[in-house]
Amino acid sequence: MRSETEIKNLILEFSKQDERIRAVLLNGSRANQNIKPDKLQDFDIVFVVDNLESFTINHSWTNIFGERILFQLPDEMTFGNKDRYEENISFAYLMLFKDGNRIDLTLFPKQKLTSDFKRDSLTILWLDKDNLFTHLPQASDKDYHIQKPTEKEFLDTCNEFWWVSTYVGKGLLRDKIIYAKEMLETVVRPMFMKVIEWKVGIENNFDVSIGKSGSFLRTFVPGDFHNKVLLTYSNFETEENWKALFLMTEIFQQTSDFIADKMGFAINREEQQNTLAYLKKLHDKVDNFEL
């Protein structure tokens, strides 16, 4: 596997020789001093370029970076383009190489820097031929710090969690395990993780990040709490999914109560209690649903 230095030198050598490339930026985890480096980290690279179309008309120039085993052009795909600029200002190449290295390379037109470039706080300048980034601050993860919720955001998150939890319960009762897990993982869990994130934020003055998809969570919570969160990931057995759902409701209730107390927010306890009673009746297969 090529080392970080080898990849950096390859990128810089190519960039210095190509007059169309005016600046090179490193973003992402490799620019984050708070993350312990490892060989699986992507190289998130931005080329600020003249004549972007001269690159995208023929993608074979990317062969300079090595032998690829997987290649993706998200800006040419029919889905998954939520993060791209609406006018296709930039163009991305995602490349996984035979030696295990991965480069996520974005081309950004120099003429759009002033009007459309959004600088990431995790940015290190590798090359600047035209002094475009003379006042670039030191890289930090501040753009990714947990943000304080408003009371409206908090109440909406709680409502969504409790409301869609009933979908999960109905799916489990009907033995529609795929539907139940879809609701649990794509709607309920994001709300679940959001309140945990806010709890960590409160405990750390909203000056930290728990990483993408909570990847750094274990750093900020006690081991027993982290283990309880792990237990909410169940298999395909119906009863195991009921256990996971009820554990999620327990953690969510305790965590949302903590947030409401610390932030001075209102909380709808009737919403909590009614949903829990409803879920218990579904689990116990009680015919009379009057609560």
Per-residue model confidence (pLDDT) at position 36:
85
Whether 291 contacts 278, CB under 8 Å: yes
What is the pLDDT, as a whole number, of residue 224?
96
The domain defined by 4-143 folds into Beta Polymerase; domain 2 (3.30.460)
- What does each of the 291 residues of the chain score in pLDDT, given as a tens digit? 999 999 999 999 999 999 999 999 999 999 998 888 888 999 999 999 999 999 999 999 999 999 999 999 999 988 765 554 456 899 999 999 999 999 999 999 999 999 999 989 999 999 999 999 998 999 988 999 999 999 999 999 999 999 999 999 999 999 999 999 999 999 999 999 999 999 999 999 999 999 889 999 999 999 999 999 999 999 999 999 999 999 999 999 999 999 999 999 999 999 999 999 999 999 998 666 555
pLDDT value at residue 85: 44
The answer to whether 132 touches 113, Cβ cutoff 8 Å, is: yes
pLDDT given at position 84: 47
Contact 75, 105 (CB under 8 A): no
Cβ neighbours of residue 56 closer than 8 Å, sequence gap 6 or more: 91, 107
Are the C-beta atoms of residues 282 and 172 closer than 8 Å to each other? yes
Instruction: With beta carbons less than 8 A apart as the criterion, state whether 56 and 91 touch.
Output: yes
Q: Which helix (H) or strand (E) holds 23?
A: strand 21-27
Contact at 8 Å (CB) between 132 and 112?
no
Q: Comparing 4-143 with 146-283, is the CATH topology the same? A: no
HSE of 269, CA atoms in CB hemisphere, 13 A: 7
User: Going by C-beta distance under 8 Å and a sequence separation of 6 or more, which residues neighbour residue 168?
Assistant: 180, 183, 184, 188, 241, 245
Domain 146-283 annotated CATH 1.20.120.330: yes
- By CB atoms closer than 10 A (0-12, 13-18, 19+), residue 47 is buried
Counting other chains too, the contacts that 224-233 makes at CB distance below 8 Å and 24 or more residues apart are: 229/196, 232/189, 232/192
| Nearest CA-CA partner of 215 in 202, 196, 234, 231 | 196
Backbone angles phi, psi at 128, to 5 degrees: -150, 95
Give residue limits of the domains in the chain. 4-143, 146-283
